[in-house]
């Protein structure tokens, strides 16, 4: 059908096989999906045109923004996507000005039709999807670093290489596998770049207890991942009688000293990102979305949703690159906030959460951890983290944490922690049993902790009393998984379902090489891990 789409890039894709109707599960229309495919194809054309030429900053930045805009739950706005599409065409013409008037069909700079990918051999499609979706995730990290003035030539060059590979018809499975694994290595560099950028801009994160109460009076909720946007909002609202509350993956902002110093950064609003349509209903305050995790707004609050950067939704007020948040501030003052203090408890009824256990805080206790393991006071460490989502079965992660024995530690990061981050799990060897290491953007820190612990124990990471139990939803999880595989980390438990874009043969390869395991039940998996 003319209006149908094909998309299987996120965990919630219809029927665990692909969204093929007039709209995706995420809410994007078939028309929007088509423009995103066209944009991706145009970026491939741009990469083709740039081959053998010096890469310009303008082209670099457009590729990062364009890939980021096609990430799940980022842009639902056809006009915004078409602007990126037009810019890609303009830049391609500037790189190869004679191609637009050439009548020969050499194909060297032409845009790529993504239907050719979706209908390709399933194993080739699977590997190219890993590259494309992994790049979309990595583009998010590159974008956050870019706005803070940090770029890496090697990371940028891979985007061109990866885009070219997706559009190249002659690559075999043997050709594509190294490019897939290279993405994992490059993404590690990209996450390190972002880690450096955040620490230089906002300081070293430190543990912080964050209230889930909202004080009476005007306030703004800020969602997404972009700490720079939060900093600008805090600066522009200082002294105006408006409180700021984080939402979703913005929660770890409370750990950074350069953000925490603002007294009107008060606490965290709501629970997991996928609950926003319920929790934002009739909200007496505006919500500013800085990156992905936007769901189509309901009528009860659509007049108070604002977007910025690459996130966009038709009809919503968009704050451009000048970052003048006056419309958001005006709406906060107009709505006035709650008349009395309100507490929105966590999923398990808690009224506060703790964050900020970055690698510095965790590694400061490395000696204690080693001693506790040697004395058999600490049996195992679990990293339970990743993306959250609405699909039934994600209560697995809540139950896993609840059932984990008292002589185990739980490290967590990313938005999957909202399933259990308000639980009171007590302490072990003087440490909280639940340690929130930050955003999905902070996965580099968790990897550094694993490497440091392996050195302290004098063994490989795979021989540590450490197991990764991961949940995935969108494409940032794809590039992080590839980074873990690049490091040779095995026995990763993955759920709630396995990616639809993995063909049986490619899945078998990953299982054989890295012992990736689908989750089963918390009891069975805990018994297997702790046996």
State the CATH number of the domain containing residue 451: 3.40.50.2030
Question: Is 466 found in the same domain as 324?
Answer: no
Cis peptide before 496 (omega within 30 of 0): yes
141-183 pLDDT, tens digit per residue, is 999 999 999 999 999 999 999 999 999 999 999 999 999 999 9
492 inside domain? yes
pTM for the model stands at 0.96
The CATH number given to whatever domain includes residue 130 is 1.20.1270.20
Asked if pLDDT for residue 3 goes beyond 70, the answer is no
334 inside domain? yes
Place of tokens 């049993």: 433
| CA–CA distance, 249 with 439 (Å, rounded to integer) | 6
Q: What is the mean pLDDT of the chain?
A: 95
Q: What is the pLDDT, as a whole number, of residue 105?
A: 58
Q: What is the mean pLDDT of residues 416-430?
A: 95
Domain count, the chain: 3
Q: What is the mean pLDDT of residues 88-103?
A: 78
Q: What is the pLDDT, as a whole number, of residue 1?
A: 40
CB contact at 8 A, 152 and 84: no
Question: Is 386 found in the same domain as 331?
Answer: no
Q: What is the pLDDT, as a whole number, of residue 101?
A: 56
Q: What is the pLDDT, as a whole number, of residue 103?
A: 54
Asked if pLDDT for residue 98 goes beyond 80, the answer is no
Q: What is the pLDDT, as a whole number, of residue 99?
A: 61
502 inside domain? yes
193 inside domain? yes
CB contact at 8 A, 10 and 388: no
Q: What percent of the chain has pLDDT over 70?
A: 98
Question: Is 180 found in the same domain as 226?
Answer: no
357-411 pLDDT, tens digit per residue, is 999 999 999 999 999 999 999 999 999 999 999 888 899 999 999 999 999 999 9
439-449 pLDDT, tens digit per residue, is 998 999 999 99
Q: What is the mean pLDDT of residues 412-423?
A: 96
Q: What is the pLDDT, as a whole number, of residue 107?
A: 60
| CA–CA distance, 393 with 402 (Å, rounded to integer) | 15
Q: What is the pLDDT, as a whole number, of residue 106?
A: 54
Q: What is the pLDDT, as a whole number, of residue 281?
A: 96
The parent domain of residue 180 ranges over: 14-201
Question: Is 291 found in the same domain as 386?
Answer: no
Question: Is 442 found in the same domain as 521?
Answer: yes
Beta bridge partners of 343: 213
End position of a domain, from candidates 184, 201, 218: 201
Question: Is 244 found in the same domain as 151?
Answer: no
| CA–CA distance, 145 with 98 (Å, rounded to integer) | 35
Q: What is the pLDDT, as a whole number, of residue 490?
A: 95
């Amino acid at each position: 059908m003319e209006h149908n789409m094909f998309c299987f890039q996120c965990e919630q894709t219809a029927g665990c096989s692909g969204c093929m109707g007039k709209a995706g599960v995420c809410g994007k229309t078939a028309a929007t999906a088509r423009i995103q495919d066209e944009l991706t194809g145009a970026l491939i054309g741009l990469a083709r045109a740039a081959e053998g030429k010096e890469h310009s900053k303008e082209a670099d930045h457009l590729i990062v923004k364009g890939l980021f805009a096609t990430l799940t739950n980022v842009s639902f706005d056809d006009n915004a996507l078409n602007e990126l599409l037009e810019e890609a065409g303009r830049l391609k013409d500037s790189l190869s000005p004679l191609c637009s008037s050439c009548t020969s069909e050499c194909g060297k700079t032409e845009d790529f039709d993504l239907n050719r990918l979706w209908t390709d051999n399933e194993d080739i499609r699977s590997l190219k999807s890993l590259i494309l979706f992994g790049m979309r995730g990595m583009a998010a990290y590159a974008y956050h670093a870019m706005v803070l003035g940090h770029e890496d030539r090697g990371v940028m060059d891979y985007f061109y290489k990866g885009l070219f590979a997706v559009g190249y018809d002659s690559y075999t499975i043997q050709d594509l596998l190294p490019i897939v694994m290279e993405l994992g290595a490059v993404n590690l560099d990209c996450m390190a770049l972002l880690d450096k950028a955040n620490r230089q801009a906002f300081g070293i994160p430190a543990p912080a207890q964050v209230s889930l109460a909202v004080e009476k009076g005007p306030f703004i909720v800020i969602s997404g991942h972009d700490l720079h946007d939060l900093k600008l909002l805090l600066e522009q609202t200082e002294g105006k009688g408006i409180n700021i509350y984080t939402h979703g993956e913005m929660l770890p902002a409370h750990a950074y000293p350069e953000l925490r110093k603002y007294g009107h950064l008060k606490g965290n609003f709501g629970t997991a990102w996928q609950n926003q349509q319920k929790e934002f209903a009739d909200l007496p305050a505006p919500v500013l979305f800085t990156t992905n995790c936007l769901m189509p707004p309901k009528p009860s609050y659509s007049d108070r949703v604002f977007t910025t950067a690459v996130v966009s939704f038709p009809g919503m007020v968009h704050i451009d690159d000048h970052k003048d948040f006056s419309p958001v501030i005006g709406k906060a003052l107009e709505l006035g906030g709650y008349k009395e203090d309100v507490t929105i408890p966590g999923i398990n009824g808690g009224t506060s959460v703790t964050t900020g256990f970055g690698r510095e805080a965790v590694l400061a206790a490395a000696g204690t951890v080693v001693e506790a393991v040697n004395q058999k006071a600490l049996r195992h460490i679990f990293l339970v983290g990743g993306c959250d989502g609405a699909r039934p079965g994600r209560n697995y992660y809540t139950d896993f944490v609840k059932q984990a024995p008292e002589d185990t530690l739980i490290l967590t990061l990313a938005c999957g922690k909202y399933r259990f981050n308000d639980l009171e799990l007590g302490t072990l060897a003087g440490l909280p049993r639940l340690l929130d290491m930050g955003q999905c953007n902070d996965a580099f820190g968790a990897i550094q902790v694993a490497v440091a612990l392996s050195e302290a124990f004098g063994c490989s990471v795979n021989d540590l009393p450490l197991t990764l139990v991961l949940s995935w939803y969108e494409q940032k999880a794809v590039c992080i998984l590839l980074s873990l595989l690049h490091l040779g980390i095995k026995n990763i438990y993955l759920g709630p379902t396995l990616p639809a874009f993995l063909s049986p043969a490619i899945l078998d390869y990953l299982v054989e090489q890295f012992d990736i395991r689908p989750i089963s039940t918390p009891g069975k998996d805990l018994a297997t891990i702790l046996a």
